Chains A and B, each alone.
Chain A
Amino acid sequence: MIIKLDDVTKIYQGKAPALNHLSLEVDEGEFVFIVGDSGSGKSTLIRLLLKELDPTEGEIYVNQRQLSRIRRKQIPKYRRNVGCVFQDFRLLKDRNVYDNVAFAQKVIGASNHTIRHKVPVILSMVGLAEKYRSFPDELSGGEQQRVAIARALINNPRILLADEPTGNLDAGNAWEIMKLLDEINKRGTTVLVVTHNMEIVHAMQKRVVQLKKGVLMSDSGTDYAAGV
């Protein structure tokens, strides 16, 4: 399995636990929705998986690595294996589409030759090959999220985390993004999507993990995908 949470509790100082003894396993190649109201601990889960935060109790394993054993200096390397996209896209507004995607490659020290080769390929995969010179503000929300996805994928991560990726999009664009994530998953990347868009969740027929106040309420398991 590629992600494993073992009895994980996260308490922000002086507050009720954001995650309360949560155990969860995700196999390689799965597509998992994490659903729940605000305050359910969904975003905390994402931040723990990115090692932006450390759990108060319990252990997290990603790619067979125990996150508590990753030293501060090794965090950047760890994150390169975990792509992530967010509700607010988080693109660099002063750079065009090409440079935003290329940026992720520069960060890992890829050669210019590699970058020139890979960026167009990934942009055409997300359907933005022709808009490579546009700036984020010139794009629709759906297009911006595609750029973010391209950026998350260009370093070939084994896991893609998406925190409310359709939160700022209209229904049509939301669907397009979900289909893209599904396609990415079919190519072998494990995809974890945090959302509260239940319409999409029901329609996609994937594994659904429901959290409430940091506790696991239900887990449809992989059976859901089989149509149970």
Chain B
Amino acid sequence: MYVLGQGIKNIWRNKFFSLASIATMAACIFLFGIIFSLVINFQEMVKEAESGVTITVFFDEGISDEQIEEIGTLIAARAEVSHIEYVSAEDALQQYIEEYMDGSEEAAAGLAEDNPLADSANFEIYMNDISMQSDLASYIEGIDGVRKVNQSVVAANILSDFNSLVGYVSAAIIIILIGVAIFLISNTVATGITVRSEEIGIMKLIGATDLFVKGPFIIEGILIGLVGSAIPLVILYAMYSRISSYISNNFEFLANILTFLPSSTVFMYLVPIGLLLGVGIGYLGSSFTVRRHLDV
């Protein structure tokens, strides 16, 4: 109780620096929140794109249904394959008609009688790990009865490269921010320690344990972290839904590419991570400093 009370008093006594630390922490968590929201949305979009058809497998002419089924079993057994879908020649024609012969029933009926896509029965393969696409394609090419394998190499590579680039860049930014935050909090705590070095000396002479002396400073750091992360999370929450609905409403042409996760999903992760990060930075920043300055 005493330690907690002193921790709060420390913040008050040291108003200016506490405020500066809270502001820095808030800025850090705010930026973190923005990056986090962007990354989590981007990853969702990538996942969406990845889950699209990436490999199409065509069969030798005159192949039997049993053979096709066998090929399907072989492909489905691969770990990187999430699922496969069989598209029969009739299905393929139907797709073609829908896409290119919009409304022209007669032509469509004519085609149906002599299906030009008779050899177009295929497997559409959906993957759960797009980086394995090339490996999978060459594996499938080696299977008996497979005539042709189509794959969207470019899309696959760009997506996975871009995804990891975004990951690295945001990780680097976040690490720098965390470093700055730890530095500032440790400065705040160090200032508090210097201001009250006399008091600390008295405590030690009276026989205060290390915990008793250090506790208030660590509590101070944790509280700064907690407040400094709670504030931006509230702001981000208010901003997120507004911005995402604004973009969706005003840039409809982007609607196909940009799909935003609902704020409840984003903040289900962001709130605990943000608070934990704030408290963690506060704890680290203060306990480093306390250890450095109070070892008497």
- Chain A positions within 8 Å of B, measured between CB atoms, are 50, 52, 73, 76-80, 84, 90-92, 103-104, 106-108, 151, 155
Contact = CB atoms under 8 A, between A and B. Distances in A.
Contact of A76 (B198, B199, B207): B207
Contacts of A76: 204, 207-210, 212
Contact of A79 (B198, B205, B212): B205
Interface in B189-210: 198-199, 201-210
Nearest to A92: B199
B210 A107 contact: no
Interface of B: 2, 198-199, 201-210, 212, 296
A44 to B, nearest CB: 16
A90 B197 CA distance: 12
Nearest to B296: A52
Contacts of B207: 76-80, 107-108, 155
A106 B201 CA distance: 16
B214 to A, nearest CB: 12
A107 B204 CA distance: 9
Contacts of B209: 76
Nearest to A77: B207
Nearest to B3: A106
B206 A107 contact: yes
A84 B205 contact: yes
Nearest to B208: A107
- Where chain B touches its partner, the secondary structure class is helix
Closest 6 CB pairs of A and B: A79-B207, A80-B207, A107-B208, A76-B207, A76-B209, A104-B206
A223 B212 CA distance: 44
Nearest to A72: B210
B274 to A, nearest CB: 35
Contact of A103 (B204, B206, B210): B206
Contacts of B203: 107
Contact of B202 (A52, A90, A106, A155): A90
Contacts of A91: 202
A90 B206 CA distance: 11
A97 to B, nearest CB: 15
Contacts of B208: 76, 107
Nearest to B205: A84
15 contacts: A52-B296, A76-B209, A77-B207, A78-B207, A79-B204, A79-B206, A79-B207, A80-B207, A84-B205, A90-B201, A90-B202, A91-B202, A104-B206, A107-B208, A151-B206
Given A76-B209, A107-B206, A155-B207, 9 more contacts: A78-B207, A79-B206, A80-B206, A90-B205, A91-B202, A92-B202, A103-B206, A104-B206, A107-B203
A63 to B, nearest CB: 13
A39 to B, nearest CB: 22
A53 B269 CA distance: 51
A65 to B, nearest CB: 14
A104 B199 CA distance: 12
B80 to A, nearest CB: 56
A210 B209 CA distance: 34
B20 to A, nearest CB: 22
Contacts of A78: 207
Contacts of B202: 90-92
B216 to A, nearest CB: 12
A92 B208 CA distance: 15
Interface centre among B201, B206, B208, B296 (most CB of A within 10 A): B206
Contacts of B212: 76, 107
A74 to B, nearest CB: 10
A50 B205 contact: yes
A15 to B, nearest CB: 21
A115 B210 CA distance: 22
A75 to B, nearest CB: 8
A61 to B, nearest CB: 19
Given A76-B207, A80-B207, A106 B2 contact: yes
A107 B208 CA distance: 5
A168 to B, nearest CB: 16
A104 B203 CA distance: 8
Contact of B198 (A50, A84, A90, A155): A90
